Structure formats: C-alpha cells, structure tokens
C-alpha cells in the first residue's frame, strides 16, 4: 500500500504514512425517485455521478501535518484548485479538496490525526 | 394539447424512468447567446452547443395570479431561476453590457440521448426588474416572465400637442380608442378647434375695434386673422390683449350685423377637426353636433385616416327647432286663372291700399295663387288659410265657398249675423273748426256705413260738386232775380270757362219766368250757338247737361214781344268731380253723397248750404275725423275666417308652392251682396330653426376589424410589438372558425388608455376565449363547456403522484344561477348598457336559492342580441352551479397538456371514474441534478357542474354520519366545507 500523494505542477505532497483502514470510496448516482398513485416508482436520472474519497490519517508526523496545511492553504486553496491524487494503488485522478474545515487533531506529541474529504472531478 | 414536441422526446419522457434535462439560452443583444444548464452538457451529448452548469435552482413555473382556480387565469407565466455567479466573467456582468429589457431567455426541455432537434421550447421569457445579486453566496436570481409581460402597453395613441398644436386643451393627452366592429355612436376628440371669446361690449355694423372679455394673449390667438360672430365674418389686422383692431366687417361675403355684449366670437378656420378612433375604420356616418344632425356641406369625413376623423369647414353647428312658436304670413303672389273678381290684387298685395278685392254675383270668383317656393323655416305646427272679408249688407242664403286646389271646397266664409247689424243712426261730427266758405252751420249727409280713413287727401265720390265757379258777370238775373229785355235781341253772357281737370260732368240749373207775350229761347253753348236750345212759353226750371271742354255762354232771346221781360231767378252750375274714393280703409266704409254746388251764395238744388268743393277734404284733416255711427243697416265689422289646413300640409313647406285658393260667390238666394276680400293668406305657426354652435361632435363608426381573433392579433402585433410568427396560427384559425360559426363579432370600443393585456382579457372574457403562451407561442382557444378529451389520467396507472389530489368546491357566493347579461353599451352618452338578456338555471335556483351577480356580466363589446344570448348561456353553464376543482401532481408524460384541454380523471380512491374535467392551470415544478428533485406538473382542473355524488363518495367513506337526507341540506352543509382540502381525508 503506497502512501497517498498530491501533485499540482511542481508542488508535491507526499504523505509519509499510508491511509488508515477502512478505506471509503463512495459513488453516488444522483437520481430522483417518487411514488405514484399506482404504487410504482417514478425515476428520473438527473445525470450526476459523484465520487468521493475520505482520506483518514493517524499519527502523522509534524512534517506531514505542516506540509498538508500548506497544501490546503496555498496550493489547493481549499476547493479552489484541482490537483492530482495518487491513491494507495498508484491510480491517479483529478480531485478537489472538499473538506470545508482543515481539522487534524494532535493525538500525541507531534503526532496528528484527521481526515481529508476529496471529490473526483475528472 | 401541445403538438410541437418531437415523438422522440415524448417517448423519452413517457416512461416510468427517464433522463430529463432543462436547458437555458440567454440571448443578450450585445453579448450573444449564453447556454446554461444545471450540469455540463454539450456537443458530446448530441447538442449543438456546450452548456455551462451554472443553474443552481430551476424553481417552478407558475401563473402570475397565483390563483390556480381562476378561470381567466393570468396570461403571464413566471419563474425564478438561481445561477452560480462566479468565474472570471460572472453572469451578472452581462447585464451591465446588455439592456435587461431586450434580453430574451429561452427555456427548453430535453432528455439525454436525444439530439438538438428534440429540444422542446417550454416558453420564451424576459427578465423582470430588479435583478438581485447576492454577493455573499455568489448567487444570482433572475425573475423570468413570459411574453405577455411585454403587453403592458396602451391600446391607443394619445392626442398629443406635438401632432395637434391647436387641439382643445381639455382633450390634449386623451387616449384615442380603438374601434371594433360597430361600436355605435362615439364622441370625437377636439383635435383642431377654433378658440373663442366673447364681446365685452355691443358693437354696431360699423365698429372696427372689437373689445373682448378674455385675455387674447393667454388664448393665443394670432396677431391677425378672421373671426366669426354669429354668421358674420370679421377680418382683423391687429389685436391687443383685449381687443381686435382694424376689423373689416362683413367679410367673405357675409353681412355686417350688430352684436350684443356677450356674443361669442370664434376663430374663423376651415379645418375644425375631430378624431374618433383608430381603425381601420370603414364607415363614419351620421355625424352629429351635440346630438343633432350636422348640416350637410359643412363637413367632410375621412374614415381612411388614422385616427378616423371629421373635418368641418366652419364652426360646427346644428339646427334645432325652437321651443317657442313663430307665426308667418305667407302671402299669395299672383292672380290665378279664372279669376272674375274685381281688384284681386287687393286681397294679397300689401302695396295695394284699396279696400279689398270684390266678389259678388257679377264678379263671383276670386282666384289667387301662391307661386313662390318657400324655404324651410322650421317645423310646421299649424297652418290656416286666413280670409278677412267685409260684406256690404248681410245675407242669409248666398254664400262664399272657399276652395283650395287639390282639396276642393274646404268651407264657406262666415256670413254676417244679426249681431253685426247696427241699427242706430249715424252722423258725422261736423261741429269742427275747419274753414268753410259759407261760414255757417251746415251738415254733410252720408249714406251707408261711415268712413274712417287715414288718407286726408282724397276726393269725394260720385256727385261731388262745386268744382267749378261761375264767372261773375252783369247778366241780368244772375245771382238775384232780375229780368232781361230780349225782344229780337240776344243777350249773351259768358258764365263759365271750360271745366278744370278732374271734372267728369256738369249741369246748368236754370230757373226763370217769361213775362208777356212770346216765347223766350235760351241758348246754351260755346261761342257758336246753340249747343242747347230751349224755348219756353212761360216759367221754366230745368237742368241742362253740358258737355265738357268748352266755355259756356248763355244767350236769352225774347221773341215777338217788344220790351217783354224774362226773369232769371236762379242760375247754378253743378259740376261733378272725379268719382271714387282713394282711401286707406281701416274699418268700415262709407260714401259721401253730399252734393255740392257752385260755390257762391245761396243754397244748392237740395236747399243745402253751399260749400266749397274741398269742404270734405278739409273735414278729413287731422282733428276732424271723429265719427259717430248713428244709423246703418250694414254689417259693421270685418270677419276673419280661419280654415285649418294642417293635416293637408303635413309639415311640408313645398306644399304651398303652386297652391291656388278660390273664393267663389254662390248666388243661391239671389241676395247679390258685395263681399270685399280684404286680405287672404296662409297663416303658419312653426317652430323656427335655431343655430347652435358646439364642439360636441359625434358619429357612428363601423370598423373593419370585427372578429375576436383578428382583433387580438392586431393588438398583439400592431400594439404590443409581438412578432407575427410567435402567434400560433392553428389555434387562432380554429378559434376564429368557431367564433364565426357562432356568429360572434365584436362591436365596441377599446379605451385607448387600457393596456393590451387588459384589452385582450376583456375580449376573451366576452367571447369565452383564453389566450396563453405555451411552447413559445401565443395560443388562442375557445373555452367550451365540454371540450374534447385529450388525455385520460388514471391514478392506478401511475399518472398521478401518490396522495396529491386536492378537491375544492366552489363557494356558493361565487355562483350566479341567474345571469342578466348587459350589452349594447352606449359609447356616447350616459345610457350605459341599453339591453340585457337573461339566462337562468331553475334547478340551481331551486337547490341553492337565487344567486345573482349582475355586475359580473357587463359586456361592452357585444351589441348583438343573439351573441349576447349565447354568451349568457355559456356563463350560466359555467357559473350557474358550484364547480369542483381537482388539483393533483403528474409527471413529465403530461407535459403536453395545455390550459382548456379536456381530460378524464380516474381515481377510485376519490370516487372519480373517467370524470371529465377542464384543465385550468398547469404549474411546473422543475427537477434537477443539483437538488435531486423530480419534475412535477401540478394540474388544476375543473368539473363545471357540481356533482353531489362525487362529494357523497368522499363523505360516505369517512364521515357517513354527517350525510344529510335531503339534497338541499347537503348543499347547505357543503357550503361550510368550501375550499377544504379533502385530500387530507
């Protein structure tokens, strides 16, 4: 299992630790359902498929923590800029940082734990 | 039912599972078209353009009134769409560079997997102000409104001073109406009128400065020009604030006249213009001035102009009949053929001063004729033939018939009766102070009725004497008894010169006695003897008629006896002057029969005092005319007979022309009286025409445009600027055909200041039609009681959303089971609606009591009774009983439904089995990928006739205990349940 990596141009954030299990890769097919008077379903496919990843880390070292803050604030700038995500299998995809709040907690001395929400956009 | 949706799209939307998409095109005038949706779509998906996923919320599409049950639901559809307003060029930036009002938004329905050609235009929209931009959320919400939003423009133009600088200030800015069909009589707007003022003082015919009460500077009259005062035209060369100067009176062929203070002056212009309406107008007729027919020849009609107008060449006026009467004596003009009366002109010629025409047994027929053509002076009220007659002597059997050509004998002149006989003596007051040659008391003897005359200069009638004087001489015996010795000796003496002018006869009266033996011969004659020769043996007393024209000498010869004597005791010359009286008779007539005698001394042959020949002349002088009638057996008065000809004349002034009247003496009793016709004429009582000036002009209009469909099309295209291709030809044609089959036509005025939208709503209301936008087109449909069923919706088959049905019963306060539809609106006066037609639903009245909303049915565009009856029948069917509205949600397969479509609804749960309904309102609730909402169509449909069974089924299922046993009670109970959402049950 490779450690996740963020890449945008020259900027690279290579986490030193891998993701914490269980890994979550939800896919949402956006559709509207309604119950008609005959008891059947009326379905409208609204044309949107949403792919999200939740990246959970435990006990990240200070360097990873500092680098991830820098990425959030200056490179990705929250959800503003896309970047390339290299997952645990080495697959890449364009994503946006969708976490509205960066909140890694220091669970031990200079050890940080938290999650990052990203959404596949490409 | 929408027919423009492609089969592919219909199929794509019809399944239980579908992939609908909404697309938006914003057409900016400057920026071009921006393509938007709620998710990325584009060429790769089969569309011609890529769509930016900036739509956050599609909102819902609804009608502006918000009352889905309103039968004349509003024309405007509206929705609010929220956009993401971010990026390098936020959407809001376009509204800085582009006018919002000119930006058009097209909203499409589409489905994934289809092509560009399958895009279905939901509607066309404009963006309503204001545009709100939320900077915090970077969301921009646009309120979209459908095309009728643009129809808030006035129907008519206004009368602008820029176009009509001399318009009446009261009418400047007035809206010019639009005429449809035959609106009847309408009033003209005063587009060009003459300014008026009033005289400040009375003026004579020669006055050249006219003072007025008003401020002419304020009125704005030109420095020179022409004025009209009554019928006089006055040119003026200058003016001050309160007077016109340099006036030329009686200009333009008019006659200068005196005018009183307060008389109105108006500008004399030749283009008094009154505009009526926009058209196109085909006929302008029956022009009236203040309700009276405008005189022919003073106005022209220009129906083809826009607006249609009437132009008067002079100040508009009308003629009316005065309330008061005038009397007119129409004189006869000539003597007619067959006249035998004497002096016929005296009966009608006012210049003749004689007593009158004379008819009698010898001169029986007075025939007089009215030859002139008399102008129409007003309305004839009464006509009499008036005959004033005086009869010399009264009579009982003879008569005078009155004949009128064309009518025969219409009566007889009234005979004098006993009351007219004066049985007293009469004498002339001769105790007067005039000069007489005799200087002594005397009298005049008169015969017949007395005379009273105003002509002092007149001669005596027959037997007037004393016109010639005896020349004094020395002949023995003249003047006093004497004798002459005339034995074989002629004694000759000139006693009188030739008669003066005016003498008609003369007689020599001679009396004497012959003494002794031998005859005496008297020769009378001129210088050549004898003209007359008389020989007497003894005394003699004789009168000798002497011809005129020579001097009279007398020669006396005593024959055979020397120194015989002949005494001449009297020698008088009796002269008779011209006969006849030249007098103006004012009352009764008399003749003077006082024989005069030769002036001089002694008495005349009647032993009356001798008077000068002009004694009577002197009597007639002022102060000597008092007259006392003492004795006569003749009628003393003139009788005026009036014969009523009113029915025969029959108000026709031309009746008199050529009419002949004959007064014919009928001598049945052989009484042989003289009847003087002093005056005969037609006496006419009439209401004279009056001229009244007014700018209150009206006319009857016939406009070329009559049908509802073409009228609406005209308003949309010509007034609201809607492109013709946006009108749905098929629906307009179908509605026009339907209206034609019903003989529907509009006859009325659209006020110029109402908006096109209001006008259309009014037209639709009065023709039970409906205009709405659908699929980007403007559609016009006729509302019918039972429209054809276009779709059957069955709840069990999934055509309705679960638990979405709401049932509303119409409150009884809204129904009207008696309809008095008012129509034939008076566009000109204050009469309002001039006709009504009643339609009544007896069953409804029996069930619900009389429900009456008369104000709801006043239709000012209907003038035809048959159309009014049909429209009333429609509204009675719709409004006569309480309706029931069903509101439910359906899915996109029902997207093709439109207002006024007929549907069948089957929902067993609600007791509906193929219940026919009419769609009133369709509201779209848009789904989208952003909010995950399914597309829904909220349908409100109406069941016209209240059906208790429907409601019973609901009550039976849930509240059977409140079911009443009587229908009337059911209704009363249901009144309280109006508008209750029964779906909660």
Give, for B843, the enclosing helix (H) or strand (E): helix B842-848
Give the relative orientation of helices B948-958 and B967-975 as an angle to the nearest 10 degrees: 80
For chain B, helix (H) and strand (E) counts, in that order, are 12, 60
3-state secondary structure B928-951: ECCCCECCEEEEEEEECCCCHHHH
Q: Where are the beta strands (DSSP E) in B112-242?
A: 120-134, 139-146, 178-180, 184-187, 189-192, 196-198, 210-211, 225-229, 232-236, 238-239
Report pLDDT digits (tens) over B304-335.
999 999 999 988 999 888 888 889 999 999 99
Q: Is A37 on the interface with B (CB under 8 A)?
A: yes
At B635 the pLDDT is 63
CA B361 – CA B480 distance, rounded (Å) = 50
Averaged pLDDT, B242-257? 93
Q: Is B76 on the interface with A (CB under 8 A)?
A: no
The closest of B693, B788, B694 to B738, measured between CA atoms, is B788
At B419 the pLDDT is 64
For residue B101, how far is the Cα from the chain centroid? 50
| Burial (Cβ within 10 Å: 0-12, 13-18, ≥19) of residue B231 | exposed
For residue B210, how far is the Cα from the chain centroid? 33
Report pLDDT digits (tens) over B731-750.
999 999 999 999 999 999 99
| B796/A38 Cβ within 8 A | yes
List the single best residue of A30, A46, A50, A122 to mutate versus B (max B Cβ within 10 A).
Answer: A46
ipTM of the complex: 0.82
Contact map slice: B 21-60 vs A, CB within 8 A: 21, 39, 41
Tokens of B639: 């009788």
Residue showing tokens 């204001």: B130
- Taking contacts as CB-CB distances below 8 angstroms, the residues of chain A near B800 are 36-37
List the single best residue of B51, B110, B798 to mutate versus A (max A Cβ within 10 A).
Answer: B798
List the single best residue of A31, A35, A41, A42 to mutate versus B (max B Cβ within 10 A).
Answer: A42
Contacts with B238 (C-beta within 8 Å, 6 or more apart), sequence order? B223, B224, B244, B245, B246
CA B264 – CA B314 distance, rounded (Å) = 15
- Taking contacts as CB-CB distances below 8 angstroms, the residues of chain A near B802 are 34-37, 39
Query: Which one-letter DSSP state was computed for residue B296?
Result: T
Residue showing tokens 């938007």: B36
Task: Decide: B102 and B54 in contact? Cβ < 8 Å.
Answer: no
Most confident residue range from A81-85, B535-539, B596-600: A81-85
- B600 has pLDDT over 50: no
pLDDT tier at B101 (50, 70, 90 boundaries)?
confident
Q: Where are the beta strands (DSSP E) in chain A?
A: 5-8, 11-14, 27-35, 41-61, 83-86, 92-97, 105-108, 111-120
CA B249 – CA B206 distance, rounded (Å) = 7
| B891/A34 Cβ within 8 A | yes
pLDDT tier at B243 (50, 70, 90 boundaries)?
very high
- The mean predicted confidence, pLDDT, of chain B is 81
Residue showing tokens 């030249």: B582
Q: Which residues pair with A120 in a beta bridge?
A: A51, A95
CA B187 – CA B976 distance, rounded (Å) = 50
Closest residue in B to A47 (Cα–Cα): B929
At B529 the pLDDT is 54
* Angstroms from A23 CA to nearest CA on chain B: 27
Residue showing tokens 């002497």: B546
- B662 has pLDDT over 80: yes
Q: Where are the beta strands (DSSP E) in B622-673?
A: 627-631, 639-644, 659-666
- B760 has pLDDT over 50: yes
| B934/A42 Cβ within 8 A | yes
CA B707 – CA B180 distance, rounded (Å) = 8
Looking at the partner chain, which of A37, A43, A44 has a beta carbon nearest the beta carbon of B801? A37
Q: For CA atoms B546, B551, B552, B554, give the dihedral sign.
A: negative
- B501 has pLDDT over 80: no
- Taking contacts as CB-CB distances below 8 angstroms, the residues of chain B near A32 are 927, 932-935
Looking at the partner chain, which of A31, A35, A48 has a beta carbon nearest the beta carbon of B802? A35
Averaged pLDDT, B543-570? 66
Residue B977, φ and ψ in degrees, nearest 5:
-100, 10
Averaged pLDDT, B637-642? 89
Give, for B765, the enclosing helix (H) or strand (E): helix B756-766
Contacts with A22 (C-beta within 8 Å, 6 or more apart), sequence order? none
- Taking contacts as CB-CB distances below 8 angstroms, the residues of chain B near A43 are 16-18
pLDDT tier at B471 (50, 70, 90 boundaries)?
very low
| A32/B934 Cβ within 8 A | yes
For residue B473, how far is the Cα from the chain centroid? 90
Averaged pLDDT, A35-61? 94
Lowest mean per-residue pLDDT among B30-44, B63-77, B122-136, B936-950 = B63-77
CA B701 – CA B303 distance, rounded (Å) = 9
CA B768 – CA B982 distance, rounded (Å) = 30
pLDDT tier at B577 (50, 70, 90 boundaries)?
low
Q: Is A49 on the interface with B (CB under 8 A)?
A: no
Q: Is the peptide bond before B307 cis (omega within 30 degrees of 0)?
A: yes
3-state secondary structure B511-535: EEEECCCCCEEEEEECCCCCCEEEE
Report pLDDT digits (tens) over B784-807.
988 999 999 999 999 999 999 999
pLDDT tier at B593 (50, 70, 90 boundaries)?
very low
Task: Decide: B291 and B830 in contact? Cβ < 8 Å.
Answer: no
Q: Is A80 on the interface with B (CB under 8 A)?
A: no
Task: Decide: B354 and B580 in contact? Cβ < 8 Å.
Answer: no
Query: Which one-letter DSSP state was computed for residue B355?
Result: S
Q: Is A28 on the interface with B (CB under 8 A)?
A: no
* Angstroms from A28 CA to nearest CA on chain B: 12
| A37/B796 Cβ within 8 A | yes
CA B691 – CA B530 distance, rounded (Å) = 82
More reliable by pLDDT, B564 or B933 = B933
CA B318 – CA B16 distance, rounded (Å) = 78
CA dihedral B81, B82, B83, B85 (to 10 degrees): 140
pLDDT tier at B66 (50, 70, 90 boundaries)?
low
CA dihedral B31, B33, B38, B42 (to 10 degrees): -130
| B17/A44 Cβ within 8 A | yes
pTM summary value = 0.67
Looking at the partner chain, which of B16, B804, B934 has a beta carbon nearest the beta carbon of A40? B16
- A101 has pLDDT over 50: yes
| B804/A37 Cβ within 8 A | yes
Looking at the partner chain, which of A36, A39, A46 has a beta carbon nearest the beta carbon of B929? A46
List the single best residue of A28, A29, A35, A36 to mutate versus B (max B Cβ within 10 A).
Answer: A36
- B558 has pLDDT over 80: no
Closest residue in B to A41 (Cα–Cα): B16
Residue showing tokens 């006419």: B684
Residue A97, φ and ψ in degrees, nearest 5:
-80, 110
pLDDT tier at B630 (50, 70, 90 boundaries)?
very low
At B54 the pLDDT is 94
Give, for B740, the enclosing helix (H) or strand (E): helix B729-741
- A63 has pLDDT over 80: yes
> What is the DSSP annotation of B131-150?
EEEETTTTEEEEEEEEGGGG
């Amino acid at each position: 299992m490779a450690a996740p990596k963020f890449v945008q141009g020259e900027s690279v954030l290579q986490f030193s630790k891998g993701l914490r299990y269980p890994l979550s890769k939800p896919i949402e097919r956006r559709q509207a359902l309604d119950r008609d008077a005959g008891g059947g379903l009326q379905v409208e496919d609204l044309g949107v498929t949403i792919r999200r990843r939740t990246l959970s880390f435990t006990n990240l070292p200070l360097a990873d923590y500092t680098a991830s803050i820098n990425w959030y604030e200056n490179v990705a700038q929250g959800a503003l800029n896309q970047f390339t995500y290299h997952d645990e299998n080495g697959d890449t995809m364009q994503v946006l940082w969708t976490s509205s709040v960066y909140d890694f907690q220091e669970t031990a001395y200079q050890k940080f734990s938290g999650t990052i929400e990203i959404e596949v956009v490409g | 039912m929408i027919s423009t949706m492609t089969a592919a799209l219909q199929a794509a939307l019809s399944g239980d599972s579908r992939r609908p998409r909404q697309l938006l095109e914003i057409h900016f005038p400057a920026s071009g078209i921006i393509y938007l949706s709620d998710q990325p779509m584009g060429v790769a998906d089969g569309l011609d353009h890529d769509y930016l996923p900036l739509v956050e919320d599609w909102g819902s599409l609804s009608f502006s009134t918000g009352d889905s049950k309103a039968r004349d639901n509003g024309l405007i559809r509206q929705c609010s769409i929220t956009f993401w307003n971010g990026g390098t060029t936020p959407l809001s930036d376009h509204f800085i560079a582009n006018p919002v009002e000119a930006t058009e938004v097209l909203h499409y329905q589409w489905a994934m997997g289809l092509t560009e050609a399958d895009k279905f235009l939901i509607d066309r929209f404009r963006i309503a102000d204001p545009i709100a931009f939320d900077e915090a959320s970077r969301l921009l919400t646009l309120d979209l409104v459908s095309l009728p939003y643009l129809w808030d423009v006035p129907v008519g133009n206004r009368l602008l001073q820029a176009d009509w600088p001399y318009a009446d200030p009261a009418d400047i800015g007035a809206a010019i109406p639009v005429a449809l069909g035959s609106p009847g009589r309408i009033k003209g707007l005063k587009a060009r009128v003459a300014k008026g003022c009033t005289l400040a003082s009375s003026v004579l015919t020669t006055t050249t400065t006219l003072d007025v009460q008003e401020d002419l500077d304020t009125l704005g009259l030109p420095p020179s020009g022409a004025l009209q005062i009554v019928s006089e035209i006055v040119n003026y060369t200058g003016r001050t604030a309160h007077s016109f100067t340099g006036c030329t009176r009686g200009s333009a062929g008019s006659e200068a006249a005196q005018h009183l203070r307060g008389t109105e002056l108006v500008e004399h212009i030749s283009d008094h213009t009154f505009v009526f309406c926009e058209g196109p107008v085909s006929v302008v007729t029956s022009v009236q001035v203040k309700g009276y027919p405008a005189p022919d020849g003073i106005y022209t009609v220009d129906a083809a102009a826009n607006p249609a107008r009437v132009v008067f060449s002079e100040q508009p006026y009308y003629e009316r009949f005065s309330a008061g009467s005038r009397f007119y004596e129409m004189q006869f003009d000539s003597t007619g053929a067959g006249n035998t009366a004497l002096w016929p002109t005296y009966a009608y010629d006012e210049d003749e001063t004689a007593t009158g025409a004379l008819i009698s047994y010898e001169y029986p027929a007075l025939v007089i004729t009215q030859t002139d053509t008399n102008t129409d002076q007003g309305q004839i009220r009464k006509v009499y033939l008036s005959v004033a007659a005086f009869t010399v002597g009264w009579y009982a059997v003879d008569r005078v018939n009155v004949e009128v050509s064309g009518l025969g004998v219409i009566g007889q002149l009234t005979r004098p009766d006993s009351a007219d006989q004066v049985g007293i003596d009469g004498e002339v007051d001769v105790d007067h102070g005039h000069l007489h040659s005799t200087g002594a008391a005397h009298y005049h003897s008169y015969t017949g009725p007395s005379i009273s005359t105003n002509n002092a200069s007149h001669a005596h009638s027959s037997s007037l004497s004393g016109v010639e004087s005896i020349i004094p001489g020395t002949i023995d015996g003249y003047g006093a008894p004497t004798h002459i010795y005339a034995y074989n000796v002629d004694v000759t003496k000139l006693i009188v010169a030739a008669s003066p002018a005016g003498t008609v006869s003369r007689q020599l009266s001679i009396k004497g006695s012959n003494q002794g033996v031998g005859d005496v011969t008297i020769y009378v004659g001129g210088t050549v003897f004898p003209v007359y020769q008389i020989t007497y043996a003894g005394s003699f007393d004789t009168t000798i008629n002497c011809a005129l024209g020579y001097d009279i000498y007398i020669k006396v010869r005593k024959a055979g006896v020397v120194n015989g004597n002949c005494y001449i005791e009297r020698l008088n010359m009796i002269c008779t002057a011209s006969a006849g009286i030249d007098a103006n008779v004012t009352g009764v007539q008399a003749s003077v029969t006082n024989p005069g005698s030769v002036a001089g001394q002694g008495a005349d042959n009647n032993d009356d005092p001798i008077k000068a020949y002009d004694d009577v002349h002197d009597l007639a002088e002022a102060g000597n005319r008092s007259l006392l009638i003492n004795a006569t057996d003749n009628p003393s008065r003139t009788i005026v007979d009036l014969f009523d000809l009113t029915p025969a004349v029959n108000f026709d002034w031309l009746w008199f022309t050529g009419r002949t009247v004959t007064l014919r003496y009928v001598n049945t009793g052989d009484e042989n009286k003289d009847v003087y016709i002093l005056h005969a004429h037609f006496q006419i009582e009439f209401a004279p025409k009056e001229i009244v000036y007014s700018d209150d002009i009206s006319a009857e209009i016939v406009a070329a445009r009559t049908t509802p469909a073409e009228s609406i099309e005209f308003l949309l295209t010509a007034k609201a600027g809607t492109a013709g291709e946006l009108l749905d030809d098929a629906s307009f044609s179908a509605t026009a055909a339907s209206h034609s089959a019903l003989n529907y036509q509009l006859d009325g005025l659209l006020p110029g200041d109402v908006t096109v939208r209001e006008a259309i709503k009014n037209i639709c209301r009065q023709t039970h039609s409906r205009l709405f936008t659908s699929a980007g087109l403007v559609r016009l449909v006729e509302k019918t009681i039972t429209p054809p069923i276009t779709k059957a919706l069955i709840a069990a088959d999934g055509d309705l959303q679960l638990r979405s049905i709401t049932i509303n019963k119409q409150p009884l306060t809204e129904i009207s089971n008696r309809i008095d539809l008012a129509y034939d609106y008076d566009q000109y006066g204050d009469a309002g609606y001039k006709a009504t037609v009643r339609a009544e639903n007896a069953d409804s009245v029996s069930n619900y009591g009389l429900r009456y909303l008369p104000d709801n049915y006043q239709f000012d565009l209907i003038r035809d009774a048959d159309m009014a009856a049909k429209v009333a029948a429609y509204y009675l069917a719709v409004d006569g009983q309480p309706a029931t509205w069903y509101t439910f949600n359906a899915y996109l397969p029902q997207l093709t439904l439109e207002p006024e479509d007929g549907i069948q609804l089957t929902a067993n749960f609600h007791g509906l089995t193929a219940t026919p309904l009419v769609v009133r309102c369709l509201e779209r609730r848009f789904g989208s990928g952003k909010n995950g909402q399914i597309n829904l169509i909220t349908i409100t449909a109406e069941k016209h006739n209240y059906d208790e069974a429907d409601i019973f089924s609901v009550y039976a299922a849930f509240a059977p205990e409140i079911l009443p046993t009587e229908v009337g009670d059911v209704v009363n109970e249901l009144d309280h349940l109006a508008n209750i959402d029964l779906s909660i049950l």
